[in-house]
Chains A and B, each alone.
Chain A
Amino acid sequence: GDSVTQMEGPVTLSEEAFLTINCTYTATGYPSLFWYVQYPGEGLQLLLKATKADDKGSNKGFEATYRKETTSFHLEKGSVQVSDSAVYFCALDSNYQLIWGAGTKLIIKP
């Protein structure tokens, strides 16, 4: 079945560091891919998405490119801030539901 694998956390970085959170997937067909973010005490909210191969999703300085050849959708940001501390979830749509990665906790230190 469809699945999503993302790097384990926590990932701890200093402010202004470069961020990469890896996400790879297994799916039949060409699903849409998503990154959601969950701040402490809140629900999940969409960060960005890409609906077809080679699309780049971007939002709030974060980017991810849908790579069909490597079945990946890695999340990147050039300069992280303390306010980016959260849990990040990679997901793909499989018919009527999202298949979720386990989440990666990101901690940014000032």
Chain B
Amino acid sequence: AQTVTQSQPEMSVQEAETVTLSCTYDTSESNYYLFWYKQPPSRQMILVIRQEAYKQQNATENRFSVNFQKAAKSFSLKISDSQLGDTAMYFCAFMKRRGGATNKLIFGTGTLLAVQP
């Protein structure tokens, strides 16, 4: 079974600074997807970024980028130029690559990020 581990329950960063959130996962699969979702105080789950395991290039979305280390089974999220609106719980998630019509996300326990003014 796959597991996702986020070892940092809480983190804090100053506005405009850079912060990195860690995620490790355990799987015997070779093809899969990894995601970071953000859950602000509104509790909405918002997709931040997606990484395909078969792609060597790290995904980026504006101020958000990942460091995907497949051999180490590590998938960290870097937030540059942190903004107050980045304050949220961040969840790392894993999904097998199936190519069919059944799939599910497996989530880590989350990291609560507080951006300080």
**Do A and B come together as binding partners?**
no
List residues of chain A with CB under 8 Å of any chain B CB: none
List residues of chain B with CB under 8 Å of any chain A CB: none
